[in-house]
Structure 1
Amino acid sequence: MAALIERHSALHGTLLFHEALDVDADDRAAHRHRSRESGRAVNGAPALARAVVLSYADGAADLVLVAHRRAVDRRALAQLATALTDPAHPVTLPEAATGASPQHDGPPELPWGLGDPARAGRTGTVVLTSTAVADDTAPALPLAATAVVLARYGATEHAEFALITGGPAAGDAQRSVALPVGEPTLTADLLDAAAHAGATDGEPPSGMPAVGVLLTEIRDGDIYRPVLAPPFPVTLAWQYGADGTLSGVLHYDEGVLDPVIAGQFAGHVARAVDALVKAPAGARVADIALVDAEEAAAVIAAGRTPAGGDAVVAPVHELFRKVAAERPDAPALSDPEHTLSYAELDARSDAVAGALRGHGVMPGDRVGVCLDRTAELVVSLLGVLKAGAAYVPMDITYPAERLLHTVSDSGARLVLSRADDFPAIDGVTVLHPSELPRTAGGPVTDPGGGADDIAYVIYTSGSTGRPKGVAVPHRNVGALLAATTADLGLGPEDTWALFHSSAFDFSVWEIWGALLTGGHLVVVPYFVSRSPEDFHDLLVRHRVTVLNQTPSAFAMLKEVDLRRTADLAVRLVVFGGEPLDVRMLQDWFRGHPHTRCRVVNMFGITETTVHVTSQTVTPQDIGAGSRSVGRALPGWSVSVRDTAGGVQPFGVPGEIYVGGAGVASHYLNQEELTAARFVHDQVTGERVYRSGDLGRLRPDGRLDHLGRIDGQVKVRGFRIELGEIRSVLLEDRNVSAAAVVLGGDAGDAAQVRLDAYVVPGHEAVSVEEIRARAARYLPDYMVPATFTLLSELPLTVNGKVDTSGLTPAAEAVSAEAAGRPTDDPVLRVWREVLGKDVGPDDDFFLFGGNSLLAVRLSGALRRAGLPPVSLRELYVYPTAAEVSALLAAREPAEDPGGHPAT
């Protein structure tokens, strides 16, 4: 044996051993010894292979060969085994390493793998079910099955992976494989494509493939172990013999693949093999079911959290009366002008309810509420509920056309508003709150209705071009509080801030979360909410303990808090409204340890009553870059589905379905849309909401939120359908075609913007005209920051608008700015923040400015040595020239000698 190795230079690094055992070859101890030797890696250079002869007491012997695959391929290993066992047999060993697997950098990620980076390099294995197949299909089946599973996991019509083939008569070869598995593909065609992929040469993979298939033919008498260290992060090692036996093992890196996902993946590949073997003539690949009923039930169960059983099923106003009766003298509601006790809030809202009844409001009616953020707003909302009606909140900043649509679509016959210019609508009474009495003889004794009646209707952006009204029953609000109160420790000791617009469903959580748990609700005036400095002062002054924020708004508040020495009393921060990048919390946790201030990320949708899931965020989540939004709330359920509504396996992305106590009633006046989105689940038999959000479910039941499936986007915390903006633009007689896309810096919430691309109907139309009309129909956060005129919209080969080729045109520079450079420090800051060459007379908000950029502008002015301006001042003085004049007027006048006047 030593002489043989000496004759072949390629094997000079082979180590030789002989060990005599005092047991027979079929003894259990002999088996353990063989297994241990075959599983021991070849360690140390320059050793490339190790040959061990094990001799037994009964005269039998075994040869165990272990080699580095990069130096000794399958052919060379077989040749060496032949030569060592039969020296007289003529063999031709390679004189140099045939080297199969190229070396790559770090392993890639799999979107469905859910591996733990801390466990990278640890290898796990899963044995695949052995099966007997026709020998001519054996090499093709593993490839076809792998393609089916990878395509389902990746929602693609072509599955790509790496392939290593080899056998006694052929050396190992690594190449890329791409197999078609789209809707029309037949199983016979897939197997044919797989057979050719395994028999022809292809291009080697570029970079480290995540998934690879190692396919080898075994020869009689051999026991072959393909790998000790798998060549790919996810390696499916298959062996097939002349008798048609097919067997395999999944080897995986735990840094790439979670062990639960690995077992699931292996099971699906084995199921696909079985399905392909049994597929009748004419069967389609799309008909292969990977997830059976038992597995689907397990996935559904993981995403469901049972209700606690302590929810009180009652209308919101009845739940409030109970709290008010228990805490009549406790502070309930404050604004800068007033503080109302629970008894006073109860009496004031009773008066509103009585007055509404006196104006003809009946149980089941809908009442519009368009009021500024004061205590009066909350009194009015509660009064509407006590009258047996549902409130329809509208923001006072909405344009007239949106207000008209909301009132008309909701069927409201009465609107509470202080706005003198609230649009007049036939048959609708606009009632000024001053016309309502402040006291009443008593509560409305028989408001009628119950927990299943609609409590409120909030309008959200709609792809049809008009907002859609979401009708939410009373019982959903009670269920939300029952699901969260104990876990979050909500109670009478808490002070909440009403930061959000009543037309944004986050306000539902803030208002009733405070008042139905006995807390103190502090109303944040609009302009205070837009100034992080003023808002921070309010939090300190009122000792607010429960803070609810969108990540965009919190980012600005956090920066102020880092500069301030005043200590906050906040014990709970709840995020919602848009995705949270947990890395932004690193500085926050330094000043507010998670053991003292709990941070909770909550995924939610208006159609499922504000919140759906809850995830407490810790410093460890920051390091892991977690995208988890947590488990479903008690009484809620989440699952992830494919396009046909089938349950997606753990880790596999798909559409998020929400079921349980939070599912809203319907969309007002939109039966088809209601039927399409509020569906009867074919799997569970329950009524669920199709969210249109992309997510993946983890084996522990936690949900990862991965964004939107459709054209819905988030800008400054507002959920916006791009289709609605496009529809408004197309209604303009000056516009013949339009597209709206999300632009700016996606990593910077303040820089995210909406870009509109418009094909004008005639040459005379201007951007200003189009922008002005859009602003009449859209709230300010939905008016695109840029409007670019095009002769035509670029199209893809499929006839769709090619948004990848759209770039916003530079805004026109004013004549004054174009004619001369400026030394105005305010204008320099203006251009620094907006990133455009704006002129001194250009409106901040028309050139892409928004409330978040206004905060940034104020900070930039301060850094430039200039006094900051508030958001309120910026609305009044929206140009650089006007702000320059404003700041100049603040400076003390100087006498002719250059000294300040006294």
Structure 2
Amino acid sequence: MATATPPPSTRTPRAAALRRACHSLTVRADRPVDAVRAARRLQDAAALRLWTLRLPVDSQDPAGRARVRAEAERPVRPDDGAPRAVLIEYADGLADLVLVAARSLVPLKTLERLAALVLDGAEGAGEPAPVPTGRTLPAGRVPRTDRPGPEWGLGTPARAGRFGTVPVAFEADGDDDALLLAAVSLTLARYGAQPEVTVAVQDADSADGFRPLAVTVDEDDTVAAHLQRCRVPRGTASADDPAVAVVLTPARPGAHYRPFLAPPAPLTLHFVRQQDGSYTGTCWYDEGAVAPAIGEMFAARVERAARQLAVLPGDGPLAGVGLLDADEALDVLRLGGLGTTHHGTGSGSSGTIHGRIAETARSRPDAVAVTDGQQELTYRQLDERAERMAAGLTALGVEAGTGRVGVCLERDATLVVTLLAVLKAGCAYVPMDSRYPDERLRNTTTDAGVGVVIGDPGQFPRIDGVRVVTPAELMESGAPGEREDREESADDGLAAYVIYTSGSTGRPKGVVVPHRNVTALVEATAPDFGLGPDDVWTLFHSTAFDFSVWEIWGALLTGGRLVVVPYWVTRAPDEFHELLAGQRVTVLSQTPSAFAQLVEADRQSASAAGPAGPAGSVAPAALGALRLVVFGGEPLDVTMLAQWLTRHSHTRCRLVNMFGITETTVHVTAQTVTPSDVIARSRSVGRALPGWSVSVRDQRGRVLPPGASGEIYVGGAGVADRYLGRPELTAERFVVDALTGERVYRSGDRGRLAPDGRLDHLGRLDNQVKVRGHRIELDEIRSVLLAEPTVGGAAVVLRQDTPGDAASTRIHAYVVLTDGGTEKDAYEAARRVLPDYMMPATFTAIPAIPLTINGKVDTARLPEPGARQAVAQPSPTSTVPEAAEAAEAAGGGDGGELGAQLLELWSGLLGVDVRPEDNFFELGGNSLLVVRLLSEMKSRGLPKVTMRQFYSNSTASKFIDLVDGLG
């Protein structure tokens, strides 16, 4: 366990720095000491005063040891470099001498000679070296107090200067310290998920400073080779302040040497080699950089690694060293949620999604289930219409139990009826967005083995062997009551849906998710979130995005009301804000990118409504019903919530950040975001949901301790069945945990587990990215480009022009063209296959793809994207000469002035000179920038343009004509 922290007086940054600059030597006198004669000898030989303290306790009393420790850890005065000598006498006649001095002024050998002078009369000790007095402690020799700690330390900055210690002890063979450094470097490599580590090493007998030991930890190499690389470094000391330091000292019988009175690095390991070959050590950490639980765990891992290195054969692989034994690994898994269960609905409830909704239709038939602004359906109407449509599917010969049905419809109440009908027919729905390119729709339909697609026959591409029917046709062919005597399957293991995600090979992969996963998700969240019949939810996202699974079935499985948001309203934050207020929505699900737009619309609404009350006291009336906002789909930068929290109290409207993956059924963890999290810039995504589990593992699948970063593995109720038709990929990503025997999913996400079981999400390990909630494999885009005959090479990168601004996040493509190909050819090839959210913002032709020495794309050597010169962001009152000239060419008079103003706005947002013939989206525009443009037009008093109007007039000249006509 960690020792008590020093007294408060030692916790200031200056006091901590002084303690780092000092060292101390405590020596037990082996016979009674004449204090008067000892003081005289010290004064005569070194001009130092001997302070004497008599304690009324024996030398073994804990109170006496505590006083010695306090004296040994108290630094000398900064304005006087003279050492301090204190003789502590006990009631049993023994005594301890405590000497404290500045390391840079008084070396250890001088302290040893002073001790001999006081206790032994300097017999055989030699004369002490001259001792400096009256010298100010050199400020340049005091270690910095703002040193960054290890990334995995998870310390609390407010606790900087509070120190904890953990004992470390083990036996070793040999006469050097390589074993210790080998154990430390291996442990650091596992914690940091990087083979290259640097440890600052100092021999405490020398005052020369720390020397860096740089080691590449190759786990495929042998134990002996690793030990050889970890010899104590020699040579020039480093001037850098270390994050992790190792201090080595030999044992001194009857004495205790403290090389520093406070750790010289955020994490310091001090090892003392005993005469019998064993080591006693202390892991010393600053709580500002390293959390106590992390410090204790790290020390135990070093100790375990050293014990194994000491006994393993030298020709054995270094990978054979484990940081955790089986029991310890299981403890970490339980910390991540292993063994938790969700709250079931009881044995009397159906196990399927449609079965449970049918139960609600029987118990609350007249409660409103779905509304889309045009029609309103009760639970009874929803169930009856879905039943009839299911009968129509059965009449078409769709096979229950194994069949898959494509659904490609606009967002309205009929869409929800259709999804439920597919489930009632005993099939899995395969959602497709009607705005996807024809080629992508064909690929999805063919890969899923879909024979029937419910959609618009006039819009959906023709595919041999695939029948496209409308919902109305199914309703007509499904006779009322036809399925009344038909026994529905209650098997919750049947597939409910297959959602396609981006694939690195250029081939999207279908994720098969059964009913039980969806019902488990709702059961795991409903109690904590208070989900129930009084809630009003929104269906904001495309059904081809798995966030919709949570929105649709989360609402209907808890008896709530689902408001289907029309597509164009989802693209217009002000209209969406009005819908939320008008429908009195209580539960809202958003990607952070979408919510950022809503925050701005809410601010404008609040400003238009007039002055509000005290910040955070009462929610504005417009969104007064909203009580829960769930974030998902992409990482959340909590700082973006600061503006929202000034108008909405977090006690009235709960904000929940949820991490999840399509392959683990939408959500895995949940973290309620508070103002303190915003201030701390927390990256936590919370603890695993009941019934789910998370763990962090290294490249070999070994469980890592809290703090260490690695790949996030997910287990439990949400793990999907498989990738459809991809057995090799399924075997690679859905694996059996050797510790538990359970299936877990390798997410490809990087994270770390905190000591309290919360998960920090740290990004991706591979080439996958999230853009405005969409999961994208950059390699898929590259594969599509390489399929174009005139593209001989391609690279795809993601860049954010303005840090923290989601609207400036763009995908850029670089192509090596052959056979007279053009950038336009590459663009057209991508447009035929990729949906809008995957389309690169720019296509830049380059002579060759730059590579690193390892043969990977050297992104740092790629040129700036795009062919045109970027222009500076104009101020609201400035004009862009090029824009004005272009507008004048398109027309004159008032129209010319309007054109100049609009081209100026476009140019400022897109960062290029915009010409009348340019298309907003071909220049890198996106939906977030459209919102920003329309908002800026509103602030300038220009005519209001809807999102639908903009998308239909996205060429600059057409847009200018549109605005001119509206004005």
Q: TM-score, normalised by structure 2?
A: 0.87
Residue 661 (structure 1) aligned with residue 720 (structure 2): no
Alignment-derived partner of residue 885 in structure 1: 961
Alignment of 1:680-759 (within 5 A): 680-745=736-801, 746-759=803-816
Alignment-derived partner of residue 310 in structure 1: 344
Alignment-derived partner of residue 792 in structure 1: 848
Cα pair 2:791 2:817 within 8 Å, conserved: yes
- Find 1:870's aligned residue among 942, 946, 953: 946
Q: What percent of counterpart residues are identical?
A: 51
- Find 1:362's aligned residue among 379, 392, 399: 399
3-state SS in 1 of match to 2:917: coil
Give the C-alpha shift of residue 201 in structure 1. 1.9
Residue 826 (structure 1) aligned with residue 902 (structure 2): yes
3-state SS in 2 of match to 1:195: coil
- Find 1:544's aligned residue among 585, 599, 602: 585
3-state SS in 2 of match to 1:112: helix
1: distance between equivalents of 2:907 and 2:663? 40
Give the C-alpha shift of residue 768 in structure 1. 1.2
2: distance between equivalents of 1:70 and 1:653? 38
Structure-2 change in CA distance of 1:567 and 1:330 (3 Å): same
Structure-2 change in CA distance of 1:4 and 1:508 (3 Å): same
Cα pair 1:179 1:193 within 8 Å, conserved: yes
1: distance between equivalents of 2:515 and 2:285? 50
Letter matched to residue 498 of structure 2: V
Structure-2 change in CA distance of 1:48 and 1:430 (3 Å): farther
- Find 1:175's aligned residue among 200, 211, 220: 211
Structure-2 change in CA distance of 1:380 and 1:60 (3 Å): closer
2: distance between equivalents of 1:618 and 1:260? 24
Structure-2 change in CA distance of 1:808 and 1:434 (3 Å): farther
Residues 762-786 of structure 1: CA distance to partner in whole angstroms, max 9, x if unpaired? 2x21111210121011101111111
Cα pair 1:303 1:697 within 8 Å, conserved: yes
Alignment-derived partner of residue 107 in structure 2: 73
1: distance between equivalents of 2:359 and 2:93? 90
Residue 338 (structure 1) aligned with residue 375 (structure 2): yes
Residues 256-281 of structure 1: CA distance to partner in whole angstroms, max 9, x if unpaired? 11111111100111112212222323
Cα pair 2:199 2:213 within 8 Å, conserved: yes
Alignment-derived partner of residue 62 in structure 1: 96
Letter matched to residue 885 of structure 1: D
Residue 840 (structure 1) aligned with residue 905 (structure 2): no
Alignment-derived partner of residue 114 in structure 1: 154
Residues 296-350 of structure 1: CA distance to partner in whole angstroms, max 9, x if unpaired? 0100111116113424561111111001111111111111211111111111111
Residues 177-227 of structure 1: CA distance to partner in whole angstroms, max 9, x if unpaired? 212321244333333333341xx1234142x32111111223333222333
Residues 128-185 of structure 1: CA distance to partner in whole angstroms, max 9, x if unpaired? 1243543x12x33322221111111112223202122132xx4453222212321244
Alignment of 1:322-401 (within 5 A): 322-363=359-400, 364-401=402-439
The aligned length equals 879
Structure-2 change in CA distance of 1:58 and 1:766 (3 Å): closer
1: distance between equivalents of 2:57 and 2:343? 65
Give the C-alpha shift of residue 111 in structure 1. 1.9
Residue 37 (structure 1) aligned with residue 71 (structure 2): yes
Alignment-derived partner of residue 155 in structure 1: 193
Cα pair 1:347 1:442 within 8 Å, conserved: no
Structure-2 change in CA distance of 1:94 and 1:609 (3 Å): farther
Gaps of 5+ in 1: 892-902
1: distance between equivalents of 2:91 and 2:150? 50
3-state SS in 2 of match to 1:223: strand
Give the C-alpha shift of residue 25 in structure 1. 4.6
Cα pair 1:69 1:101 within 8 Å, conserved: no
Deviates more, 1:319-328 or 1:173-182: 173-182
Letter matched to residue 423 of structure 2: L
Residue 413 (structure 1) aligned with residue 451 (structure 2): yes
Give the C-alpha shift of residue 70 in structure 1. 4.5
Residues 51-103 of structure 1: CA distance to partner in whole angstroms, max 9, x if unpaired? 11234555544322122334433333223323333335423525669989652
Alignment of 1:593-672 (within 5 A): 593-672=649-728
Deviates more, 1:714-723 or 1:32-41: 32-41
Cα pair 1:465 1:726 within 8 Å, conserved: yes
Letter matched to residue 675 of structure 1: A
Cα pair 1:549 1:574 within 8 Å, conserved: yes
Residue 224 (structure 1) aligned with residue 257 (structure 2): yes
Alignment-derived partner of residue 622 in structure 2: 567
- Find 2:312's aligned residue among 254, 257, 279: 279
Letter matched to residue 87 of structure 1: A
Alignment-derived partner of residue 19 in structure 2: none
What root-mean-square deviation, in Å, do the aligned CA atoms of Structure 1 and Structure 2 show?
2.4
Deviates more, 1:348-357 or 1:299-308: 299-308
Deviates more, 1:350-359 or 1:56-65: 56-65
Residues 576-597 of structure 1: CA distance to partner in whole angstroms, max 9, x if unpaired? 0001111111121221111111
Structure-2 change in CA distance of 1:778 and 1:80 (3 Å): same
Structure-2 change in CA distance of 1:238 and 1:366 (3 Å): same
2: distance between equivalents of 1:682 and 1:248? 34
Structure-2 change in CA distance of 1:761 and 1:241 (3 Å): same
- Find 1:320's aligned residue among 349, 357, 360: 357
3-state SS in 1 of match to 2:422: helix
Letter matched to residue 267 of structure 1: A
Letter matched to residue 794 of structure 1: P
Q: TM-score, normalised by structure 1?
A: 0.93
Structure-2 change in CA distance of 1:866 and 1:76 (3 Å): farther
2: distance between equivalents of 1:786 and 1:403? 24
2: distance between equivalents of 1:383 and 1:79? 91
Alignment-derived partner of residue 441 in structure 1: 480
Structure-2 change in CA distance of 1:71 and 1:326 (3 Å): farther
2: distance between equivalents of 1:308 and 1:21? 60
Cα pair 1:645 1:682 within 8 Å, conserved: no
2: distance between equivalents of 1:2 and 1:250? 36
1: distance between equivalents of 2:761 and 2:146? 26
- Find 1:590's aligned residue among 646, 652, 656: 646
2: distance between equivalents of 1:30 and 1:790? 76
Cα pair 1:787 1:808 within 8 Å, conserved: no
Cα pair 1:75 1:171 within 8 Å, conserved: no
3-state SS in 2 of match to 1:544: coil
3-state SS in 2 of match to 1:754: strand
Cα pair 1:75 1:172 within 8 Å, conserved: no
Alignment of 1:256-295 (within 5 A): 256-295=289-328
Structure-2 change in CA distance of 1:358 and 1:741 (3 Å): same
Alignment of 1:418-429 (within 5 A): 418=456, 420-429=458-467
2: distance between equivalents of 1:49 and 1:698? 43
Give the C-alpha shift of residue 819 in structure 1. 11
3-state SS in 2 of match to 1:173: coil
Gaps of 5+ in 2: 1-37, 607-620, 871-880, 888-896
3-state SS in 1 of match to 2:732: helix
2: distance between equivalents of 1:59 and 1:452? 79
3-state SS in 2 of match to 1:840: coil
Structure-2 change in CA distance of 1:440 and 1:597 (3 Å): farther
1: distance between equivalents of 2:672 and 2:60? 56
1: distance between equivalents of 2:945 and 2:884? 28
1: distance between equivalents of 2:42 and 2:796? 71
Alignment-derived partner of residue 898 in structure 1: none
1: distance between equivalents of 2:475 and 2:883? 59
2: distance between equivalents of 1:310 and 1:426? 44
Residue 760 (structure 1) aligned with residue 817 (structure 2): yes
